[in-house]
Amino acid sequence: METANLEQTRNIASKLARKAKRGDCYCLIGDLGAGKTEFAREFIRTLCGNVTVASPTFNILQVYEPNIYHFDLYRIKAESELTEIGLDEALQNGICLIEWPQIAENYLPQNRVEIYFEIVDETTRKIEIK
């Protein structure tokens, strides 16, 4: 599907969030600026209320009470680092949103949801959910 603006992307995020449960893993895949963090922000705010959602680009993981784990694995270069940042534990105990999940592929559950973002033009994004 296509979203014509940020608001439409947010609508998709909050719809999915309302169905999310413990153990669910959402992979957010797409280029820089495609909308992964904006999607995660609305997803988290749907479940956690009016919280501030910063991009985890620099600290890799942000946790939101009670059990949402928002990862950005862009800066992870070795699979061995994934244990250190607590990926396993997050996957077992919470709802995970993972930007740049490629490096973690061997660790992710089979039944994960993959969401692909593609930039069409300044305000249009193609979003595919698998």
- The contact set with Mg ion (CB under 5 A) reads 36-37, 55, 99
Q: How many CB atoms lie within 10 A of CB 10?
A: 19
Question: For ligand ADP, which residue of 35, 56, 94, 101 counts as binding (CB under 6 A)?
Answer: 35
- How many angstroms separate the first and last alpha carbons of the chain? 12
70 binds ligand ADP (CB under 6 A): no
CB 63, min distance to Mg ion, A: 17
Rounded distance between C-alpha atoms, residue 18 and residue 38, angstroms? 17
Tell me how many degrees the CA angle 116-65-77 measures, rounded to the nearest 5. 45
Rounded distance between C-alpha atoms, residue 124 and residue 122, angstroms? 6
* x-or-dash string of contact with ligand ADP, 107-126, rule CB under 6 A: ----------------xxx-
* Binding residues among 42-61 for ligand ADP as defined by CB under 6 A: none
Residues that bind ligand ADP (CB under 6 A): 3, 5-6, 9, 30, 32-38, 99, 123-125
